[in-house]
Amino acid sequence: MSAVLEVSDIKKSFGGIKAVDGVSFDVQEGEILGLIGPNGCGKSTLFNCILGQLMPTDGEVKVDGKVVTGLRPSELNRLGVSRTFQLLQVFPKLSVRENLILAGQEHQGNMMSRLLGPSDAGLTATADQMIGFFKLDHLATEAAGGLSYGQQKLLDAAMAFMGGPRLVLLDEPAGGVNLTMLGDLKERLTAINREKRATFVVIEHNMEFVMSLCTRVMVMAEGKLLAMGTPAEVRANPAVIEAYLGH
Amino acid sequence: MSNLLDLLVAGLATGAIYALVAVGFTLLWQTSQTINFAQGEFVMLPAFLMLALMHAGAPFWLAIILGILLSLLLLGLGFKLLLVDPMLRHGVLPLAIATMALAIGMKEAVKQFFSAEASPFPSIVPAGDISILGRVVSLQSLGVLALAIAVVIGLTALLNRTSIGHQMQATAQNPTVARIIGVPVERMILLTFLINAFLVALASLLITPIYLAKFSSGEVLGQAAFIAAIVGGFNQVRGAIAGGLLIGVVDNLAAAYVSTQYRAAVPLVLLIVIILFRPQGLLGRPEERTV
Amino acid sequence: MTVKGKYLRIALGIVVIGALIIVPMNFNRYGLYILSQWAVMTIAAMGLNLTLGYAGQVSLAQGAFVGIGAYAAAIMTTQGMPLIAALSVAVVLCFAIGWILGYPALRVQHHYLAFVTLAFSTLAFLVFRNEDWLTKGIYGISNIPRPNVMGFATNRPLPFYYFCLGSLGIVSLAMWWLIRSPWGRAFIALRENPVRALSLGIDTRRYTLMAFAIGSALGGVAGTLYAPLTQYIDPVPFNLSLSLDLLMMVIVGGSGFFFGPFLGAMIAVLLPEWLRFTQGYYLMLYAVAVMLLLIYSPTGILGILDRYLAARRTKAASALRAVTKSKLETAS
């Protein structure tokens, strides 16, 4: 196994506030790593630093051994790192299929072929496969804005996989999703992890979801790494219990 | 050298008028995200209202008072209630375009109902020259400058020294918080529209004797006010004042030292440079917007 | 329903195109001039619709690009060069300037961008007016020849109208292709949600600049048709108000809708003619109509239609969902 993502000593401060204060970790190929911690512990800031949305004050990010710190999100995405956002970010006026094609089109060909080539960038089949995989079949031509919240959340996740990513960072995929849908989502994510050998990092507040989905869990508190281990180890860690229940 | 003094005084006088217009412009932007593309026409109209009143037989002083009152009614209250309020929830752009249409409508209305020709307009400052330090300076320029400065000082005092001014500033900076701490936000927004109407009426009174009353005179003036507002700082009253004075002076110096053909280009180039290198303006604060 | 709708739309399209070809045959010189003007303005407005409607970038300089195209055509064709050469020059020039003008869009908020383009528009006007050696200044350039297209002279109004209509047809097809291509999808993505677009690998900078450059180039195309249409140009038509008019055409028709510019240009060019009986009041009525329309529907005329259709679709969709839901419930 080799490390897909290596994060070393990331620091990010806003004014005088250290949001992320020297976090290092590796993610191995095929792994599903959970990232948990109380609100305001710096999880989302860390995500944004890894993904090029924010420029870290200090530290280094490597993907497949290549330094990617400071790359723009679009460049990083084309290197095989994709993400979902905490809030829904589908394109409501485009159909489900169009949303998926959009999510994959920049990974096909070049600017010229995207202008002169076919309108779907040759992705209709891939998109429909993804639609089938996430069980959205009957909705392919519906405008994404007309879907239920849970369905949009599935679409949002599906979009992250259209480019055939090496690494996917999911920011609260379960947020606001009802119980039935939640089971669906977990099952789909596990399946895609196994079938496509995609590596995940998942931020989530829903403990049960994290503990049952992830192979390894890391806990952050006040900008620092507090604990790292299997779900069972983390659950038993006194420092984690302190961080969650102590305050 | 002597020539330079004349140019400076004349430049500051026009600049002070630009400043009045630019201040109104930034106030509308700050309190209600209105980019008023009809601001120049707002300056053009009051002079015609006053002229119409004088044609109807009113003496000059009465025409001025009634003209200003009519401006408050039409350009302040009417503008806000009939155009801005219904459009505001649709965002910045549709409203900006509606004000472009308003500008066309105002120009055409004046052309139709009044005249397409330029009309002379009496000056409230007596004509003539006076001599300062052995130099002859136009009384009109000095009078305009003095009046405009008085208004600007008055407005600054209103904004900074009075409780209404503080409430207006709170409204401009953050309406949500202002509402929570008990500022009557709606009334403050209306007040900025009335102040804008007052400022343009005053600018109209000061500038029309110099450039004559013409339906199309708002085009140049509106653009000068935009540029002044942006150069000075779109979100600061004192920025707009500084911007107005600067553009007035630059404009007059450019007319004298650059070719007359390209004098109009100098402020525009200044504008582009400012937007590219200091988009918040000379005195403005950066605008933070989450994307 | 969709298949029937598709045939209906194709039939409607054929009828409209047929009407545009056949009806003007017995129009007088002036009527043909107005229709040609509509075709030319539609092309310019389509360019702006790409920049504003699809990619979401405000430009107040489209009139200046029409001017650049018109001057390129006037200067080159009066020197005896063919219009196609002028067209190439205009397109390349406008594309390049549009590209450069797009750079501020990467740095500043949209309302600042409006002012940068506004300043450019006025600067371009000053150049048209002042550079006598090139543009003949306020005296303008007269006797601009009309082109020969594949051996046919277009001097007379009807052939020239067909030339404009044909050009509009070609531009429309190209635009249709562009909007349906992955580029069109990327433009919409960067208008709707630039952050998400970036995270999907879309190079928003490059697409923004492209939207600016292509939109501006279409302004140049319209200009190269405008010069032989009027056969005389001076700086006045290319001042800021042309840019504002074009902006209003796009918004009134419905920005971000493919047919928005056709409709907007029709209203801006033809409505004044229909309102001719009101004499001097027509522009005033136009201004009032625009304000009322924007208050009622800020997304323009096609916005009204779109809302109506969307409401019908949602009804149908929710009915469909209810059906699937009840099926699922009976199944489990």
Domain range A3-245, CATH class? alpha beta
C298 in reach of chain B (CB within 8 A): yes
Res. A235: pLDDT tops 90: no
pLDDT of residue B156: 85
**Subunits with at least 3 CB pairs below 8 A relative to chain C?**
A, B
Nearest to B14 by CA among B195, B198, B148, B196: B148
Q: What is the pLDDT of residues B100-158, one digit of tens each?
A: 899 999 999 999 888 888 888 888 877 777 777 666 777 877 888 888 889 888 988 88
| Cβ within 8 Å of residue B213, ≥6 positions away | B44, B47, B48, B51, B118, B119, B120, B121
Nearest CB partner across the interface for C291, out of B37, B83, B271: B83
pLDDT of residue C171: 97
Q: How far apart are CA A129 and CA A144, in angstroms?
A: 17
pLDDT in tens, chain C (332 residues): 467 778 888 899 999 999 999 888 888 999 999 999 999 999 999 999 999 999 888 889 999 999 999 999 999 999 999 999 999 999 999 999 999 988 877 777 667 778 888 889 989 999 999 999 999 988 999 999 999 888 888 889 999 999 999 999 999 999 999 999 999 999 999 888 988 999 999 998 899 999 999 999 999 999 999 999 999 999 999 988 899 899 989 999 999 999 999 999 998 888 877 777 777 788 888 889 889 998 998 888 999 988 888 788 777 767 766 666 565 555 44
Res. B96: pLDDT tops 80: yes
Res. B80: pLDDT tops 90: yes
Nearest to C36 by CA among C243, C217, C229, C169: C229
Average pLDDT score over chain A: 88
Phi, psi of A135, deg, nearest 5: 55, 45
- Asked whether the beta carbons of C260 and C81 are under 8 A apart, the reply is no
Measure Cα distances from A86 to A170, B20, B89, B104, C173 in Å.
Answer: 8, 46, 26, 46, 40
CB-defined contacts A:C, below 8 A:
90
Q: How far apart are CA A229 and CA B79, in angstroms?
A: 64
Q: What is the pLDDT of residues A8-51, one digit of tens each?
A: 999 988 877 888 988 999 999 889 999 988 888 888 889 889 98
- Chain C residues lying within 8 Å of B90, measured CB to CB: 294, 298
Kindly determine whether residue C298 and residue B91, on different chains, have CB atoms separated by under 8 Å: yes
C38 in reach of chain B (CB within 8 A): no
Measure Cα distances from B31 to A184, B24, B168, B232, B268 in Å.
Answer: 48, 11, 8, 18, 26
The nearest alpha carbon in chain B to C254 belongs to B94
Domains of chain C, first to last: 30-296 (1.10.3470)
> Which residue numbers of A have CB closer than 8 Å to C's CBs?
51, 53, 72-75, 77-78, 82-83, 85, 89, 91-94, 98, 101-103, 105-108, 111, 114-117, 119, 121, 138, 142-143, 146, 148, 159, 163
Nearest to A140 by CA among A120, A166, A121, A169: A120
Q: How far apart are CA C48 and CA C181, in angstroms?
A: 18
Mean pLDDT of the region B175-196: 90
Give the 3-state secondary structure of residue A165: coil
Res. A101: pLDDT tops 60: yes
pLDDT of residue C163: 95
pLDDT of residue C35: 94
How far from chain centre, in Å, is Cα B112? 25
Res. B94: pLDDT tops 90: no
**Subunits with at least 3 CB pairs below 8 A relative to chain A?**
C
DSSP assignment, residue A229?
E
Mean pLDDT of the region A117-121: 88
Q: What is the pLDDT of residues B278-288, one digit of tens each?
A: 877 787 766 54
pLDDT of residue A54: 87
Query: Which residue out of A82, A119, A171 would a mutagenesis test of the C interface target, given it has the greatest number of C Cβ atoms within 10 Å?
Result: A119
DSSP assignment, residue A82?
E
Predicted confidence band at B1 (pLDDT cuts at 50, 70, 90)? very low
Show the CA angle centred on residue C74, arms to residues C69 and C78, nearest 5°: 150
| Cβ within 8 Å of residue C296, ≥6 positions away | C304
pLDDT of residue A149: 87
Nearest to B44 by CA among B109, B141, B140, B138: B109
Choose the weakest-confidence range: A206-210, B57-61, B188-192, C145-149. A206-210
- Residue B240: HSE in the Cβ half-sphere, 13 Å Cα cutoff: 25
pTM of the model: 0.88
What is the ipTM, given to two decimal places?
A: 0.88
- Residues B109-137: b if buried by 16+ CB within 10 A, e if exposed: bbbeebeeeeeebebebeeeeeeeeeeeb
- Chain B residues lying within 8 Å of C298, measured CB to CB: 87, 90-91, 94
Give me the residue label for tokens 């596990």.
A190
- Chain C residues lying within 8 Å of A111, measured CB to CB: 206
Mean pLDDT of the region A92-102: 93
> Which residues of A109-188 form beta strands (DSSP E)?
167-171
pLDDT of residue B290: 30
- Chain C residues lying within 8 Å of A115, measured CB to CB: 178, 181-183
Angle between helices B139-161 and B185-211 (to 10 degrees): 170
Mean pLDDT of the region B222-229: 88
> Which sign, positive or negative, has the C-alpha torsion A186, A245, A236, A44?
positive
Q: What is the pLDDT of residues B42-61, one digit of tens each?
A: 999 999 999 999 999 989 99
Phi, psi of C48, deg, nearest 5: -65, -35
Q: How far apart are CA C172 and CA C178, in angstroms?
A: 10
Domain ranges of chain A: 3-245
Measure Cα distances from C228 to C47, C87, C155 in Å.
Answer: 20, 12, 9
